[in-house]
Amino acid sequence: MFPKKAANDLNKNDFLHNLDEAREARRREKQIQQSVVIIQKVVRGYLVRKKYRDYRKNELNQIFLGFTEQNPQSYPPSQPVSTMFTHLQHFLPYYNRMKVKNNSTDLQQMLLGVLNYLSTSLLTDDMNVRKTDLSTPIYNHIATLFNKEMNGQWMKFNQDLLVIALKILETTELITTVDIKLFMTSLNFIYLMTDCQSWRALQKNMNELLLKTILAIERSYLIHLGQHNLLKILKIAMIRCMQRRLESSIFSNIATLSFKLLLNNDLNRTHVVLLSQTILTIPTFITMCHETSHKTFQMVCQKDLFNHLICIYSVKESLVNTHDSIDIIELCYILGNLVALASIDPSQIETMKQPFVQSLFNILDLCRQRQSTGEQNNTQSKSTSVWHLIIGHVRGKTSGMTVSNQEVVQRVIVQYKYLWSKSFVNMLFESIPTASSTSQSSVIKKETNIIRAKFEKLFHTKTTVEKLITDDLTQSICRITTFYQKLIQTLTELRLQILCALSLQDSLISSLWQFLNNIGPTCGLKELTKIYEINKDEHQPIFDLLQLFCNLCSYLATILDEEEMYKEQKYMELESWSQLCLFLNQFVYRMIRVEFVRTTATSPKLKLENSQLYKTLHQLLILLHERNSRKSFVPDSHWLIRDVKSSSSFMADLEHTESCAFYLLEQIPHILTFKDRVKILQMFIERDKEKESNEYSTSRYHMKNYYEIHRTNLFGDAFRSLQNASSTTWKNTIRISFINPQGLAEAGIDQNGIFK
């Protein structure tokens, strides 16, 4: 039906098919040949590069591994500088390439050898700049500087190697001996490269032009290092060494580099801020500089480093903006270094008294702000807190680069002690302006009466509420007490040290007590209550004075024994203690009444619990009441408040647990007689019985509070059975059946078990 294809058509199709197969075979063969060429190219390239790397590695190892020995005398003889510099140029690309692939110990050893070679070469004096015999080989690395064709490459090589040394300081963890050796060598190399005047090869040939040249080189290296975060890396290096107790071996180099960078930039504001953010956060850094009589540090002090820092710290906005990333622990170390810098030369404070005190205020305020922010973040995120030996619990994020070992913290505490030393306290009171020059001369003649002399003017004038708020002299004195109160609240773990030192100050406690008595009857109870009613935020400086005095009295009431307090009557007479008890009792009572009368969004209880003034006064009141309970120094009626007993609404208010009367009964129950308190207790019992009877039901009557206790496990079974018992359970009948060692209930004469 269908015609068959002709034979010539079949031959044509076969021919075309064979032609396509041949073309495809040629294409595959060409691809195979190209692939073979590529594979050979890659393999041969790899082998050549590997051979070249192995050659360079062996060559560099042969040259530089001999410089890794600890003893410089065992170093191999150096080759001419022209040959060595060529090898050094080969080292940099080799190191950078191998560093990315694998940071092996062999690579660290090679870098250690290079740094040792360069450091040794810089300290040799085998080069003569004026040498005329050019055929004699020169071995010193500095010789390349005087080659016009090579000096640019020499500068670039040194800068690149300085950056590598900086990276070593930043990343090395100081775990092994090799790490420590490489770390120390890198720091020493950076120090030598930035101290061109110590290059011995140039010292014999020094002239004015050469001196200018090497100073320019030194300046360029410092600028280059500063652009690569030199101060930040030095801080990391120093803190790591302090954690490993290695600070003494590197401190001099780190201090020199830090202050040289500052001097190189003429102590401009940017670098002073950078120094404060980094180096001054190292604990006791300034003290170590002073103890070692560091030359560069003395040069910086002569350039008024103290004044430059005060200009930054005395402006609160500037301090907050420039130290936004500094945590509270580092702020405490900054404060310690600032105080140490001031104590080195107290005369420099004379011209900067007010800015210096303002700087202390600002740093303490910033510490308190960071602490409160950390507490809020800790409440929200439920993160753990860190314990610090100076400021107690630190909540929130802290930098990992901090030192908290006891030896370092004790040195920081020594720095702080200047703030409550006799000389500093007298200096603060001396800074208060006085009206007459005669009073100033009398203060100078008798230094021990400086504090009393400042209070005397207030003692002879009548004090009013307006004067307590607006008078300049009163505000100046209160400002000093505010400072120490903030210091106590910030350095919580040093509270006893501060109070002990202040209690030993001449006439401080007696002057504060006399000042309070001078306000008005009963230590100015009426005036202080009026100020408290007017100011809802308790930010009046007069309350800081009151808090400091109460803190000092709490310290005295704790440490004085009966003979010192009752017979010798140290610091304060018994009559003064009695008058203080009367004032505290009345003022705490009025504070509670005022807070419950005010209409605020905050609960009165919560506000009083968060009030530092209330906690301080209430603590001292309870302490004195307990002291009087052991051995009386006031009559029993001294603690009673007539307003409470005569108030008809007091008993009615006790029905509400959130009432003022109930809170008074919780906080200061001694304002009522013992007989009245017993009546209130009986009233509570009757009320509870009435409440229980009203809620009484048949179901509760049949409710069984029945527990089985095994004789072999009395405590365990009793605790497990009764630990979750509610107050209602304890008020009902509780039956207990004892199980003997055989597992059977004991019969006993009470049949169903003992009961309550």
Centroid of chain to Cα 467: 39
Residue 323 near residue 331, CB atoms below 8 Å: yes
Lowest-pLDDT range, 312-321, 464-473, 544-553?
A: 464-473
Distance CA 197, CA 750 (A): 101
Pick from 560, 586, 585: nearest CA to 572: 560
Position 741 scores a pLDDT of: 85
Q: Does residue 133 surpass a pLDDT of 70?
A: no
Where do the structural domains in the chain lie, given as residue ranges?
A: 280-420, 429-632, 640-696, 698-755
Diameter over CA atoms, the chain: 145
**Mean pLDDT across 140-165:** 87
Cα angle at 146 between 140 and 150, to 5 degrees? 95
pTM above 0.85, yes or no: no
Q: How many CB atoms lie within 10 A of CB 310?
A: 22
Position 448 scores a pLDDT of: 47
- Using pLDDT thresholds of 50, 70 and 90, give the confidence band for residue 28: very high
DSSP element (H, E) containing 706: strand 706-710
Residue 65 near residue 109, CB atoms below 8 Å: yes
Record the tokens describing residue 573, joined without a space: 């007479």
**pLDDT tens-digit series, residues 678-737:** 988 888 888 877 777 666 554 455 456 778 888 888 888 888 888 887 777 777 777 888
Record the tokens describing residue 617, joined without a space: 């006064």
Give me the helix-helix angle, 495-503 and 472-490, nearest 10°. Answer: 140
Residue 527 near residue 463, CB atoms below 8 Å: yes
Q: Give the burial string for 650-688 (b: 16+ CB within 10 Å, else e).
A: beebbeeeebbbbbbbebbebbbeeebeeebeeeeeeee
529-533, Cβ contacts within 8 angstroms, sequence gap of 24 or more: 529/587, 529/590, 529/594, 530/465, 531/465, 531/468, 531/469, 532/590, 532/591, 532/594, 533/594
**Half-sphere CA count of 273, side-chain side, radius 13 A:** 14
- Using pLDDT thresholds of 50, 70 and 90, give the confidence band for residue 553: very high
Position 583 scores a pLDDT of: 94
Distance CA 619, CA 85 (A): 75
Cβ within 8 Å of residue 513, ≥6 positions away: 549, 572, 576, 580
Position 756 scores a pLDDT of: 53
- Using pLDDT thresholds of 50, 70 and 90, give the confidence band for residue 412: very high
Question: Residue with structure tokens 């059977």?
Answer: 744
- Which segments of 402-534 does DSSP mark as H helices, in order? 406-416, 422-430, 437-445, 450-459, 465-470, 472-490, 495-503, 508-519, 521-534
Cβ within 8 Å of residue 728, ≥6 positions away: 692
Record the tokens describing residue 557, joined without a space: 């009431």
Q: Does residue 69 surpass a pLDDT of 90?
A: no
Question: Residue with structure tokens 């020059």?
Answer: 437
Give me the helix-helix angle, 151-171 and 230-243, nearest 10°. Answer: 40
- Using pLDDT thresholds of 50, 70 and 90, give the confidence band for residue 323: confident
Residue 398 near residue 386, CB atoms below 8 Å: yes
Residue 509 near residue 549, CB atoms below 8 Å: yes
**pLDDT tens-digit series, residues 223-245:** 999 999 999 999 999 998 888 88
Distance CA 76, CA 464 (A): 87
Handedness of CA 602, 603, 608, 610 (dihedral sign): negative
Position 388 scores a pLDDT of: 86
Distance CA 597, CA 534 (A): 13
Better-scored residue on pLDDT, 174 or 125: 174
End-to-end CA distance of the chain: 119
Residue 185 near residue 113, CB atoms below 8 Å: no
Q: In what order do the strands lie in the sheet with 754-755?
A: 706-710, 735-739, 754-755
Q: Does residue 121 surpass a pLDDT of 90?
A: no
687-694, Cβ contacts within 8 angstroms, sequence gap of 24 or more: 687/655, 692/728, 692/731
Distance CA 457, CA 460 (A): 6
**pLDDT tens-digit series, residues 567-611:** 988 888 999 999 999 999 999 999 999 888 886 667 888 888 888
Position 399 scores a pLDDT of: 65
Q: Is 485 left (phi over 0), alpha (psi -120 to 50) or beta?
A: alpha
Residue 708 near residue 746, CB atoms below 8 Å: no
Distance CA 356, CA 338 (A): 9
Give the phi and the psi of residue 704 in degrees, each rounded to 5.
-100, 120
**Mean pLDDT across 661-670:** 90
**pLDDT tens-digit series, residues 420-451:** 998 898 888 886 665 443 344 443 334 445 66
**Half-sphere CA count of 186, side-chain side, radius 13 A:** 27
**pLDDT tens-digit series, residues 253-295:** 999 999 999 999 888 999 999 999 999 999 999 999 998 888 8
The overall average pLDDT reported for the chain is 83
Distance CA 507, CA 204 (A): 64
Cβ within 8 Å of residue 35, ≥6 positions away: none
**Mean pLDDT across 509-522:** 86
Specify the pairing of strand 706-710 against strand 735-739.
parallel
Three-state SS annotation for 524-570: HHHHHHHHHHHCCCCCCHHHHHHHHHHHHHHHHHHHCCHHHHHHCCC
Q: How many CB atoms lie within 10 A of CB 136?
A: 9
**Mean pLDDT across 36-61:** 85
Share of the chain above pLDDT 70, in %: 84
Give me the helix-helix angle, 472-490 and 422-430, nearest 10°. Answer: 150
**Mean pLDDT across 190-217:** 84
Residue 715 near residue 744, CB atoms below 8 Å: no
